[in-house]
Structure 1
Amino acid sequence: MFTSFLLQLLLFSVSLIPNSSAQSAHDTVTDPTKRAEYAFTTLQTWYNASTGIWDSTGWWNSANIMTMVGNLAKTEPKNQRLQKLAARIFANTVMQAPAKNPQPGIENEASRGQDVNKTFALSNRTDPEDWLDGFYDDDLWWALAWINAYDITSNPKYLHLAEGIFAAVTKAWPTRCGNGGIFWSWEEEYMNAIANELFMSTAAHLANRMDEEDRKKEYVAWAERTLDWFLSSGMINERGTINDGLTEDCENNDRTTWSYNQGVILGALVQLNKATPNPTYLALAACIAKAAIIELSDVDGVIHDICEPECGGDGTQFKGIFIRNLQILHEAAPDDAYAEVININAESIWVNDRDGNAFSVNWAGPFVRPANASTQSSAMDALVAAIAVH
């Protein structure tokens, strides 16, 4: 076992670009890859090698940061330093992070008396139960992070871990609304958009990574079943955007149209269309994306959530998730409107929301102190997306 000090040396000895706190030093940087790499160097000052997660933010947020790290690595497949650093972060996090799970094992209370599927349980901290905290959206953020880690490293243990997490979450199906969908948490008190979008996205992602046709079909079936339920649930409002969840009477609760609820479904539909092509999937994604752009953008085209600047530890992450998935949709179905939104937001982040190479919650500016790993990684989602559309 490495000591904390040795882990820090291991993880940071391959830093990409020397960091600088001087604002003027990087004012003239226009290359999107260099911008993202400067931001990444700052992000890693929050990475705690002894815990495997990023200080200053939470459990599910660190899963999202993992996904962003993977996406950055995908933009530079020939950059061996970046590939090795990403792989080391994945390897360290899979070993260390379970100790930081805020509620390990709590989901077992909801499944007492049921047969617990141990098919995917592995050794070396890749037992899916290590990653379950009672909130199914948290669980699935980690599943998507490990799928991305598999994409970068081709290490099957990450894919098996994601499968195991997904298998555990299937026990939350169905809810009391329409005999389908999953609950938000083990307490089974709320049916919301994000948990079900993530469930569909994870199933579709897994489908596209299965060699065995029967297993692929099983994941496709889960994704299609979830989409059918989601579309019938009423969470998509008359404006074409998605509200937070359902009432106890199984009606749209008309709560906030958070940016991440408009984003995760885009990536889910792209992956589902890849697994089983259907022209309605990308058409639906386009409708949601364009409705969201209208609803979330200010007059300059910068994306906002209603909570700004007091978004707490969770809301600061949402916009990056939207832009990340908008870029995924743009890659599958290119549209100048998507590229414009990505570029406008990445540019505004760099010009208006930067202190040194740190970024805060308001992408339109001014910089709001303090920045943290959540605000930094969310901004980085936009910077990384800009690399892809550059």
Structure 2
Amino acid sequence: MAPVVEAIAIARDWQHEQPPWAGNRVQLPANLPNITQQCIDTYLFSQGPQGGIGGIGWWQWANGYTAIALHDGWSGTTHNYQRLTNSLRKCEGQHANFINEFNDDTLWWALCCLHIYNIGNDPWFLDKARRIWQYVHAKNSVCGRGALQCCANDMEGGCFWTTKPGEGYVNSITTGLYAELSIRLALVSSTTSLPEKHGHVGSKLQSLIGSHRKEGPAEYLEAARCSLEWILRCVYRPRDAVVMDGMKTRKNELVDWTFTYTTGVTIGVCALVYEASREEDYMVLACHMAHRAMRNRGWVEEQGILSDLGAWGKAPGEPGANGDGVGFKSVLIRHLGTLYDVIRKTGAQSVQARETAELIKMFMCINFASQQQNNTNGNGQYGPWWTGPFDMPTSHSQLAVLDVMAAARLVNRM
């Protein structure tokens, strides 16, 4: 059975068990908007004159601003919009069009620009996102059909980690971000009918690479499908519904690390492709991965708190350590929110979709409540341990909680 077909079949056949925390009903407080905004204001206190946040790095700046943009978008407000636009225009002065040699860094910024565009419709931000999509192609960072093989798999649709000469690492986060950018651009720019429905996950990316015609919604959608297919074909482990880190093509080696954010982005991509195409396979995959992620005991504590301690490296025990893994779990929260939002917007009626949305809502409320009860000093500052105790606030711990704040606003919408 082909890997993509197998992944869909397993997702359809899986009998989802309720996690032990599923019966925990948490009521969000009436002053929720004040709590979430205080968290954002506290984070922005660390902003420097060039637009970035002290104590964290370039890609993390993009993630923090993305979470704030989602907070506004999911709350139906523009409260932080002007601060976001001012910040990004300053940040762009450090790297023209937000582009550096790391494709994942660049793609995080592209997505941030799109979320801000969706709030205020400023074409400057849409232009930046499109320029980054075009740049990734111009640098030949996305593999075409038959161009490269690794571990007996065609690398078509996979995205290289960097633009450095001789780069050989095709990784799932870069590919997932590229797929997410592609499908979000398709949704933003869709003014024509989408291509005919594929049986499963289609792929014609080789016809797009090097093409000189202006890309549109159909091209963006096909690029998203193709890169998602690479993930499902090459780095997805269907038996436990997790996405592995990537493939070292020069060594013909699969890197089987599993982080919350690689699976999280893939959940979001599946949900968004469903939104664009209404192909049920994508919703089935998204819901299956979401269920398994929220029951993954390597990531989630028995009481339902997302900890992902394996991504910390030296921690737990060093709350001031600024490892990239500090914020990985927040990306899973973000894309569980993406799936919830797509189910809400599209009115997906399958039993699986409705049950998944309800489970996500409980999960978000439990994680928000734990921040308030166990992980704050009460002054809008949050530490790194979501299960507590509150230790010390840092820019990276505050960054990670921003997505929890955005998700709480999303699931609290009427």
Does the TM-score normalized on the shorter chain lie above 0.5? yes
* Pairs within 5 Å for 1:229-248: 229-236=230-237, 238-248=239-249
**What is the CA distance between 1:313 and its match in structure 2?**
3.7
Partner AA of 1:43 in structure 2: Y
Matched, 1:342 2:314: no
What is the SS of the residue equivalent to 1:290?
A: helix
**Closer, same or farther: CA 317–225 of 1 in aligned 2, 3 Å:** same
**Closer, same or farther: CA 386–29 of 1 in aligned 2, 3 Å:** closer
* CA contact 2:182–2:220 (8 Å) conserved in 1: yes
Residue in 2 that maps onto 1:193: 172
What is the SS of the residue equivalent to 2:216?
A: helix
User: Which range moves more in the overlay, 193-202 or 268-277?
Assistant: 268-277
- Specify every segment of 5 or more residues in structure 1 that has no aligned partner in the other structure, as ranges: 1-27, 102-128
Residue in 2 that maps onto 1:270: 271
What is the SS of the residue equivalent to 1:191?
A: strand
* CA contact 1:33–1:384 (8 Å) conserved in 2: no
Residue in 2 that maps onto 1:138: 105
What is the SS of the residue equivalent to 2:272?
A: helix
Residue in 2 that maps onto 1:97: 91
User: Which range moves more in the overlay, 140-149 or 205-214?
Assistant: 205-214
Q: Please tell me the root mean square deviation across aligned C-alpha atoms, in Å.
A: 2.1
* CA contact 1:87–1:153 (8 Å) conserved in 2: no
**What is the CA distance between 1:251 and its match in structure 2?**
4.9
* CA contact 1:57–1:372 (8 Å) conserved in 2: no
What is the SS of the residue equivalent to 2:224?
A: helix
Residue in 2 that maps onto 1:315: 325
Bigger relative contact order (CA 8 A; separation at least 6): 2
Residue in 1 that maps onto 2:387: 364
Residue in 1 that maps onto 2:18: none
Distance 1:251 1:30 in 2: 51
* CA contact 1:235–1:252 (8 Å) conserved in 2: no
Q: Pick from 278, 287, 302: which aligns with 1:299?
A: 302
Distance 1:36 1:282 in 2: 29
Residue in 2 that maps onto 1:24: none
User: Which range moves more in the overlay, 379-388 or 303-312?
Assistant: 303-312
Distance 1:240 1:251 in 2: 20
Residue in 2 that maps onto 1:46: 46
TM-score w.r.t. structure 1 length?
0.79
Distance 2:93 2:125 in 1: 18
Q: Pick from 337, 346, 350: which aligns with 1:327?
A: 337
**What is the CA distance between 1:228 and its match in structure 2?**
1.6
Residue in 2 that maps onto 1:281: 282
What is the SS of the residue equivalent to 1:245?
A: strand
Equivalent pairs counted in the alignment come to 328
**Closer, same or farther: CA 75–212 of 1 in aligned 2, 3 Å:** closer
Q: Deviations over 1:279-314 (max 9, x none)?
A: 010111111111211221111111122124356342
Distance 1:84 1:239 in 2: 40
Residue in 2 that maps onto 1:152: 119
**What is the CA distance between 1:212 and its match in structure 2?**
4.4
Could you say which structure has the higher helix fraction? 1
* CA contact 1:360–1:376 (8 Å) conserved in 2: yes
**What is the CA distance between 1:377 and its match in structure 2?**
2.4
What is the SS of the residue equivalent to 1:272?
A: helix
Distance 1:380 1:247 in 2: 33
Matched, 1:389 2:383: no
Residue in 2 that maps onto 1:14: none
Distance 2:29 2:55 in 1: 27
Partner AA of 2:109 in structure 1: W
Residue in 2 that maps onto 1:172: 141
Residue in 1 that maps onto 2:64: 65
Partner AA of 1:173 in structure 2: V
**What is the CA distance between 1:84 and its match in structure 2?**
5.2
**What is the CA distance between 1:316 and its match in structure 2?**
1.4
What is the SS of the residue equivalent to 1:46?
A: coil
**What is the CA distance between 1:30 and its match in structure 2?**
5.5
Matched, 1:183 2:160: yes
Matched, 1:205 2:207: no
**Closer, same or farther: CA 230–278 of 1 in aligned 2, 3 Å:** same
**What is the CA distance between 1:189 and its match in structure 2?**
2.9
**What is the CA distance between 1:88 and its match in structure 2?**
3.3
**What is the CA distance between 1:238 and its match in structure 2?**
2.9
Distance 1:43 1:341 in 2: 24
User: Which range moves more in the overlay, 204-213 or 246-255?
Assistant: 246-255
* CA contact 2:75–2:410 (8 Å) conserved in 1: no
**What is the CA distance between 1:130 and its match in structure 2?**
3.5
Partner AA of 1:133 in structure 2: N
What is the SS of the residue equivalent to 1:254?
A: strand
Partner AA of 1:143 in structure 2: A
Residue in 2 that maps onto 1:163: 130
**Closer, same or farther: CA 300–33 of 1 in aligned 2, 3 Å:** same
What is the SS of the residue equivalent to 2:100?
A: coil
Distance 2:74 2:283 in 1: 23
What is the SS of the residue equivalent to 1:145?
A: helix
* CA contact 2:64–2:402 (8 Å) conserved in 1: no
Distance 2:289 2:252 in 1: 22
